[in-house]
Structure 1
Amino acid sequence: MQRRAVTTALAASALLLAAGCSSGGGDTPGGGSASSSSTAPGPSGSRETAEHTPPATGSVRVVRTVAANLKTPWGLAPLSGGGLLLADRDDGTITRIDDRTGKKTLLGSVPGVSAAGEGGLLGIALSPGHASDHLVYAYLTTDSDNRIVRMLYDTKKPSGEQLGAPDTVFKGIPKGTIHNGGRIAFGPDGMLYAGTGESGNRGLSQDRDSLGGKILRMTPEGEPAPGNPFGDSVVYSYGHRNVQGLAWDDKQRLFASEFGQDTWDELNAIKPGDDYGWPIAEGKSTDPRFHGPIAQWRTDEASPSGIAYAEGSIWMAGLRGERLWRIPLKGTQSSAPPQAFLKGTYGRLRTVVPAGGNKLWLTTSNTDGRGDPSGTDDRILEVEVS
């Protein structure tokens, strides 16, 4: 694995910028359906105190279409002052979306993106100190690997020129036509987490020296985070096939969604150092070596990408399944069968992020080469959940 810290020039630019800057669609209720689920023990350090259990059934209402006519949207990052940053997988661009009007402002292109198959410009995340350092992180596929970079976002520059030169934070993640992972997120601990895929090479998932088929945890500078389970390594958990969803609940416990192959997709509660079984196990297993999923789905019902936590539940976007799943939680277990909404209404669903309170931002993914786009695809939806 390879990593490097931020350049002095980038850091100096961030300080200068911080000194100069202050910081229609219709309603569509969904129907519900259940799927099989399994339970697993929770992460170490979980507080075993009494917790609120959400109702067994919930609801979803699409409030409005925030933006339409988007091309291959993938990563989505809400700005604290309003607005959304959106990554275009194939064009390698980042665009700001006004969440009130839908107006699009191009920040710029990310150099080095090599889009092919499932690779390209994937997840994006804002620095925990974004209000002062104005840094945007991105996970991208290059000609040689998958890597994480960060760039200065300068709102004072003209449209199309607002992204600074990318600084590589972490590189060497295996790439492939398939299974590139790609979700990145900063956790409650301020560390950067990344979900990776095994790039079609199954053996990488069980190899703790490989970065493929893992959840990685690192400092914002790309160094192994303090407290990681395998010493001087960014590997946080392993035995994954293709992780594209990361979210924390209100007790700071990490959950991840994972693509299965032919049988079971998974939602997992992540415990540092644990083995999640791939390719030896797919879905629930009786093998005590493996940490089993808290819920599982047939691949035609899910093929999950992004997840978010709201109203006591994990909300999981399904690509092939073309639906939004609700998984109510009690601790690190599912407290009731998962419930499906928006089945087939908007096609493939890629990314879901909290929008504050009981609302979510939800993106479609019908222009990714595997969907059937409508005249206004792709879209960002504002969704109210309970």
Structure 2
Amino acid sequence: MKAKLLSSFALLTILVSCFQIVGQKPQEVEDIYLPDGENVQVSVWIDNLEIPWSLVFLPDGRALVSERPGRIRLIENGKLLPEPYMQIDVKHFGEGGLMGLAVHPDFPQKPFIYAMYTYETKDGKIFNRVIRIKDNGKSGTFDKVIIDSILGARFHNGGRIKFGPDKMLYITTGEIFKGELAQDLNSLNGKILRLTPDGEIPKDNPFPNSPIYSYGHRNPQGLAWHPETRDLFESEHGPSGEYGRFGHDEINVIYKGGNYGWPKVIGAPGEKDYIDPIVVWKDATPPSGMTFYRGDLFVATLRSEALIRIKIRKSGDRYKVTRIERWFAFDNRRGKFGRLRDVVEGPDGNLYILTSNRDGRGSPQPGDDKIYKIVFKK
């Protein structure tokens, strides 16, 4: 019976892969390795964190960082406070737990923080939700649930939340290794969602009475808005064995109502029904959090242990990638600082990167996990 099941699964994988459309990489440039970065100085800002996931800065100089086991930690005057800002009861397993943080766009007049996390019900079901937290200075208290009942699992929970220039909350959700959910507009999984700060569905969302903004995503991990065009960019993990495929990690430009193809297409095949990525790495380069800084897109990557700088210019209605640099990496598997989960610009104009070396997939060094500060030399 076991042999029959295995052979049936293998047959299904072959059949699905035969119908999957595989495209090439869209960028014309090759990655350049810069183990020391370019004209920067790097120092440890905060250390001894446990699997930090998201870092946000508050207007008064404080910063908050989420730790995947369920703690939000407070940083004041460059020091990590010993007591958690808030403890959340999460389901911490695999890639699940406390993930993204976001700050209300009208903070501190509206003193709210947002958090996304995985949890387990009493009957053993796994979900993800986003909650709103009231800031009390040294601590936070639960305010309300913004969205709930997003299917959760050990892997592919998405987890990034950010406010856009339109003051709407964008939420990335993974397809929990069930690829068909990404194409199902009745499912919240494998999507980018868009809500008001109060959790309402905006009237100008692309699908009636739905929080879905775009779909066809496998495991979206990063969001960033171009500083001039205000277009939304997204980072996404490609397959890790499904349908016999590997690699093909992506950077996408997100358009309202767009279908990004998973699991029907990978790479950039140019199929009219799907939107192609602007970057595809055929070798696994799992991208995570990202931000635009000085006009370039900086992307934290996990297994490839690099901070990637992507130079982009817009030509007509399309973006062209002109250069890709892998900072702090020696090759596509080894970097100076290990796995990188997020990159954020601080109020001081410097970049900050979070390591993820204690997540069970890295090689922790003394003091891990850390937040590094990157100062650009003049």
Gaps of 5+ in 1: 1-35, 41-56
Q: Say which SS state the counterpart of residue 351 (structure 1) adopts.
A: strand
Question: Distance in 2 between the 1:255 and 1:60 partners?
Answer: 26
Residue 63, structure 1, aligned to residue 42, structure 2: yes
Alignment-derived partner of residue 223 in structure 1? 200
Alignment-derived partner of residue 23 in structure 1? none
Question: Distance in 1 between the 2:194 and 2:63 partners?
Answer: 25
Question: Distance in 2 between the 1:169 and 1:101 partners?
Answer: 31
Instruction: Report the CA distance shift for 1:322/1:119 in structure 2 as closer, same or farther (over 3 A).
Output: same
Residue 345, structure 1, aligned to residue 336, structure 2: yes
Aligned residues with identical type, % of pairs: 38
Alignment-derived partner of residue 320 in structure 2? 334
Instruction: Report the CA distance shift for 1:60/1:167 in structure 2 as closer, same or farther (over 3 A).
Output: farther
Q: Say which SS state the counterpart of residue 205 (structure 1) adopts.
A: helix
Instruction: Report the CA distance shift for 1:254/1:99 in structure 2 as closer, same or farther (over 3 A).
Output: farther
Question: Distance in 1 between the 2:214 and 2:343 partners?
Answer: 23
| 1:310–1:358 CA contact under 8 A, matched in 2 | no
Question: Match of 2:323, as an amino acid?
Answer: P
Partner deviation per Cα, 1:219-267 (whole Å, 9 max, x = no partner): 1121212311112111001000001100101121100000001130000
Alignment-derived partner of residue 276 in structure 2? 292
Question: Match of 1:349, as an amino acid?
Answer: L
Residue 99 of structure 1 and its aligned partner are, at CA, apart by: 5.5
Q: Which structure has greater strand proportion?
A: 2
CA RMSD in angstroms, aligned pairs only: 2.0
Q: Say which SS state the counterpart of residue 337 (structure 1) adopts.
A: strand
Q: Say which SS state the counterpart of residue 203 (structure 2) adopts.
A: coil
Question: Distance in 1 between the 2:294 and 2:348 partners?
Answer: 8
Normalising by structure 1, what TM-score? 0.80
Residue 317, structure 1, aligned to residue 296, structure 2: no
| 2:73–2:81 CA contact under 8 A, matched in 1 | no
Alignment-derived partner of residue 367 in structure 1? 358
Residue 244, structure 1, aligned to residue 227, structure 2: no
Identify which of 70, 73, 76 aligns with 1:98: 76
Alignment-derived partner of residue 26 in structure 1? none
| 1:84–1:99 CA contact under 8 A, matched in 2 | no
Instruction: Report the CA distance shift for 1:97/1:270 in structure 2 as closer, same or farther (over 3 A).
Output: same
Residue 133, structure 1, aligned to residue 124, structure 2: no
How many pairs were matched up? 327
Question: Distance in 1 between the 2:350 and 2:25 partners?
Answer: 25
Normalising by structure 2, what TM-score? 0.82
Residue 65 of structure 1 and its aligned partner are, at CA, apart by: 1.0
Alignment-derived partner of residue 61 in structure 2? 82
Q: Say which SS state the counterpart of residue 203 (structure 1) adopts.
A: helix
Residue 384 of structure 1 and its aligned partner are, at CA, apart by: 3.4
| 2:131–2:142 CA contact under 8 A, matched in 1 | no
Alignment-derived partner of residue 52 in structure 1? none
Gaps of 5+ in 2: 1-23, 29-33, 121-125, 240-245, 330-334
Identify which of 261, 265, 278 aligns with 1:281: 265
Question: Match of 1:365, as an amino acid?
Answer: S
Residue 176 of structure 1 and its aligned partner are, at CA, apart by: 1.0
Question: Match of 2:272, as an amino acid?
Answer: P
Instruction: Report the CA distance shift for 1:99/1:349 in structure 2 as closer, same or farther (over 3 A).
Output: farther
| 1:93–1:109 CA contact under 8 A, matched in 2 | yes
Residue 150, structure 1, aligned to residue 132, structure 2: yes
Question: Distance in 2 between the 1:182 and 1:81 partners?
Answer: 26
Identify which of 255, 262, 271 aligns with 2:233: 255
